[in-house]
Chain A
Amino acid sequence: MSLKPRRYDLALLGRVLATRPAGRAAGVEAAARLADEDRLLLNFHGVEVASPPFLDELMVALRGVLLGGKKRWLLVTGCNEDVKESLEMVVGRQKMVLAVMKRDEVELLGSTPQLAETLEAAREMGSFTAPELAEHLKLKLPAVHQRLNALLEAGALGRVDDPTATRGKRGIYSTPPKDEVQAAAAEPDEPQLSEVITA
């Protein structure tokens, strides 16, 4: 999986994102992008305030797409301490897990220590199958599948079918590629000058 992630810049809606109707509208837009692209960077750079009602509506819409069957990843970036605190409150209330960029690493909001441990192992392994992860964590396969499903629902992991599987379906899991995520997070809003000249 090396497709460049699409980015949704919430600061384009304003620096203070406070109301439920605004969250609902943002949720519709963000969910549509996630549904189209399979991977989305939810960017809060430039947002000073994102209130729990706004985030509640946004997360409900995005969660609907994440639970839709097809495996997608969703990463949040650019949160200040207040936005992060509001996000923690909302994901806790919705009983969901959310992957957030913290400096160069992905951390989980609303997570348990077991999920955090699993994500850490996933990062170390890069790309892996469930049996490989089970061996790495010294856990039984059903327990690993449970953790993997939770991380898939959070959008913290991606999954594709293993083409080499001979019996039934087997998935290959991977964490969002760090360099692609960082590049997408740093992408300027305006087109590059060279693109303008050649257009």
Chain B
Amino acid sequence: MCPIQDEDAQNDARLQDREIHNLGRVLRGQYARSASSGLLSARAPAARLLLDGRSLQLVDAFGGVVVRAVLDQHVAVRGNSVSVLEPESATVWQTLYDLLGRGNLPAGCSWGLTRSPARRGDCVLVPATPLASDQDVRSLIDLALPGAAAGLGHGGRPARLAQESAALFTHNARTHGSGSPVPPLLCASFDEQSKDLQVVVFDRGAALAGGNGAALREAIARSRASGGGLASLAAYRRRGCDFSVRLAGGAGRARYDSRNRKWKFSDVADLVPGFMAALEIHR
């Protein structure tokens, strides 16, 4: 992420004495996964961090967990603070505001207040939320997720598939995501662009952070051999639900498509500093 070059911005008093990270134009899907590499770099930024979201044009559940992870990571250091400049686009502002829990940013974080709080939209089912305890997990997955899904017209089998994937991804994140500086995150949202229902879990554990496509292939093979959750999600087709499972860890990427019932594995340049598992239910 590059410092702001705009002269007006540099003169803005709010931006003084802060390290500035530009969220870019797109924090959606693969672009969000790629951006996580720079936004969550190991290098410790200044105590006061500014995330500039003014140019943001597209954001989804993937972007939600990435931005929330930046907030959580930064304020995990005592005395640090983060300010987030709101997107100039009204619709993107509404979505980002909902994805980050509206006024419920973590302690030490604040909105830049360049805009009034957006009215609640109808895309976000569960804002990017840390999963610190069993109670958090149960209240989100048993109650919040299906209730919100039904309210947005995604009840029945899609809601249950979303719940199952959220539970499995969360269990894996809490089990295998050890060494993470912050709790794993869950976010569920309806993506306006693709019309997909997205469930994303992101953990900063080390297990697959340095991995590649081959490591993900091995992880799937182990899951299949032990009857694990990832393999079981992909094992059979849910009547009426076309879906994809996306995994990203380090340089590795994997995608399962229920329409052709195949996994595809690849390697990319941008490293995800942790492990991201997602379900996308296609409409």
Instruction: Confirm or deny: B228 has a beta carbon within 8 angstroms of a beta carbon on chain A.
Output: yes
Instruction: Confirm or deny: B30 has a beta carbon within 8 angstroms of a beta carbon on chain A.
Output: no
Contact pick for B167, options A19, A56, A82, A85, CB 8 Å: A19
Q: Across the interface, do B232 and A51 meet the contact criterion of CB distance under 8 Å? A: yes
Please, how many residues of chain A have a CB less than 8 angstroms from a CB on the other chain? 19
Instruction: Confirm or deny: A49 has a beta carbon within 8 angstroms of a beta carbon on chain B.
Output: yes
Given A19-B171, A89-B236 in contact, is the A56-B164 Cβ separation under 8 Å?
Answer: no
Most chain-B Cβ atoms within 10 A of its Cβ — which of A14, A16, A51?
Answer: A16
Report B-chain residues with C-beta under 8 Å of the C-beta of A14.
Answer: 138, 142
Q: Across the interface, do A52 and B232 meet the contact criterion of CB distance under 8 Å? A: yes
Q: Across the interface, do B167 and A18 meet the contact criterion of CB distance under 8 Å? A: yes
Instruction: Confirm or deny: A20 has a beta carbon within 8 angstroms of a beta carbon on chain B.
Output: yes
Report B-chain residues with C-beta under 8 Å of the C-beta of A80.
Answer: 160
A74-91 to B contact mask, C-beta < 8 Å, 1/0: 000000111001100100
Nearest to A52 among chain B residues (CB) is B232
Report B-chain residues with C-beta under 8 Å of the C-beta of A52.
Answer: 227, 229, 232, 235
Instruction: Confirm or deny: B212 has a beta carbon within 8 angstroms of a beta carbon on chain A.
Output: no
Q: Across the interface, do A85 and B232 meet the contact criterion of CB distance under 8 Å? A: no
Give the complex CA separation of A23 and B227 in angstroms. Answer: 13
Contact pick for A53, options B138, B141, B160, B228, CB 8 Å: B228
A36-65 to B contact mask, C-beta < 8 Å, 1/0: 000000000000110111001000000000
Report B-chain residues with C-beta under 8 Å of the C-beta of A85.
Answer: 236, 238-239
Given A53-B227, A56-B227 in contact, is the A16-B163 Cβ separation under 8 Å?
Answer: yes
Q: Across the interface, do A48 and B160 meet the contact criterion of CB distance under 8 Å? A: yes
Instruction: Give the distance to chain B from A59, nearest Cβ to Cβ, in Å.
Output: 11
Contact pick for A49, options B163, B235, B239, CB 8 Å: B163
Q: Across the interface, do A20 and B228 meet the contact criterion of CB distance under 8 Å? A: yes
Instruction: Give the distance to chain B from A101, nearest Cβ to Cβ, in Å.
Output: 20
Give the complex CA separation of A56 and B231 in angstroms. Answer: 13
Measured as residues with beta carbon below 8 angstroms from the partner, the interface class of chain B is 20 to 34
Contact pick for A16, options B142, B157, B228, B232, CB 8 Å: B142
Q: Across the interface, do B168 and A19 meet the contact criterion of CB distance under 8 Å? A: yes
Q: Across the interface, do A49 and B167 meet the contact criterion of CB distance under 8 Å? A: yes
Contact pick for B168, options A48, A51, A82, A93, CB 8 Å: A51
Instruction: Confirm or deny: B211 has a beta carbon within 8 angstroms of a beta carbon on chain A.
Output: no
Q: Across the interface, do A82 and B238 meet the contact criterion of CB distance under 8 Å? A: yes
Nearest to B169 among chain A residues (CB) is A18
Q: Across the interface, do A51 and B157 meet the contact criterion of CB distance under 8 Å? A: no
Instruction: Confirm or deny: A15 has a beta carbon within 8 angstroms of a beta carbon on chain B.
Output: yes
Nearest to B166 among chain A residues (CB) is A16
Instruction: Give the distance to chain B from A89, nearest Cβ to Cβ, in Å.
Output: 6
Instruction: Confirm or deny: B146 has a beta carbon within 8 angstroms of a beta carbon on chain A.
Output: yes
Provide a sorted-by-A list of 13 A–B residue pairs whose CB atoms are within 8 angstroms. A16-B141, A19-B171, A20-B227, A20-B229, A48-B146, A48-B159, A48-B160, A51-B168, A53-B168, A53-B229, A56-B227, A80-B160, A82-B160
The chain B residues found within 8 Å of chain A, CB to CB, are 138, 141-143, 146, 157, 159-161, 163-164, 166-168, 171, 227-229, 232, 235-236, 238-239
5 nearest interchain CB pairs? A18-B167, A52-B232, A15-B142, A19-B171, A49-B164
**Extra inter-chain contacts (12) besides given A48-B163, A49-B167, A52-B232, CB under 8 Å:** A14-B142, A15-B142, A15-B146, A16-B142, A16-B164, A18-B229, A49-B163, A51-B164, A51-B167, A51-B168, A82-B238, A86-B232
